[in-house]
């Protein structure tokens, strides 16, 4: 019964994040807004360059100390030391709560370590800061898929496409979800 209740809680949290994040206003820098506008009109061959620039903007914490903590967290994630990564990411999100990439990496670390509730909470923070964060939305897709919410996951894939039509993982996610959702009731 407890496991079922927890699953329902995760499902409702994920759906609430999905719908609530659609109403936020983009309060980012004009340079970032311009990059997102370009992302919608460029050819696929140019998309990785624009995505790289967006990621660079997102990775600016504004503090050399936070940058060091961020780099330590990325290193820990790269070697799959999720508990060590979380120590750094907790410090980072505590001291720089407006730093979107701190929350984004937290979502990844939580999701990879099977902590769905905290992963969803981190994704919610990411999307409150930057609702166009296609990487956080991709993590949300994976969580929804793991919860068996294939149609909701497809909705998030469509949202990613509306933000970043040339996102590398887009077609893979869509194909996998379309296959998994076949035969499911609407």
Give the pLDDT of the chain (186 residues) as one tens digit per residue: 566 555 556 665 655 555 554 544 444 688 899 999 999 999 999 999 999 999 999 999 999 999 999 999 999 999 999 999 999 999 999 999 999 999 999 999 999 999 999 999 999 999 999 999 999 999 999 999 999 999 999 999 999 999 999 999 999 999 999 888 886 555
Assess if residue 91 is contained within a domain. Answer: yes
Structural domain that includes position 99: 2-181
Q: Would you call 112 helix, strand, or coil by DSSP?
A: helix
Assess if residue 21 is contained within a domain. Answer: yes
pLDDT at 152: 94
**What is the CATH number for 18?**
1.25.40.10
Assess if residue 169 is contained within a domain. Answer: yes
Assess if residue 186 is contained within a domain. Answer: no
pTM attached to this predicted model = 0.84
Contacts of 18 (CB under 8 A, 6+ apart): 140, 152, 155, 156, 159
Domains identified in the chain, total number: 1
């Amino acid at each position: 019964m407890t496991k079922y209740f927890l699953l329902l809680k995760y499902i409702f949290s994920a759906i609430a994040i999905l719908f609530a994040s659609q109403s936020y206003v983009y309060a980012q820098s004009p340079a970032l807004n311009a990059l997102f506008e370009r992302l919608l009109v460029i050819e696929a061959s140019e998309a990785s360059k624009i995505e790289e620039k967006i990621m660079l903007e997102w990775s600016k914490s504004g503090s050399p100390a936070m940058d060091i903590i961020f780099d330590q967290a990325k290193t820990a994630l790269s070697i799959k030391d999720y508990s060590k990564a979380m120590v750094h990411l907790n410090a980072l999100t505590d001291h720089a709560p407006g730093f979107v990439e701190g929350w984004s990496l937290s979502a990844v670390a939580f999701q990879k370590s099977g902590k769905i509730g905290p992963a969803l909470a981190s994704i919610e923070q990411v999307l409150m800061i930057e609702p166009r964060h296609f990487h956080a939305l991709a993590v949300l897709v994976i969580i929804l898929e793991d919860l068996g919410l294939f149609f909701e996951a497809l909705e998030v894939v469509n949202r990613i496409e509306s933000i970043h039509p040339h996102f590398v993982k887009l077609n893979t996610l869509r194909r996998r979800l379309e296959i998994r959702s076949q035969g499911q009731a609407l």
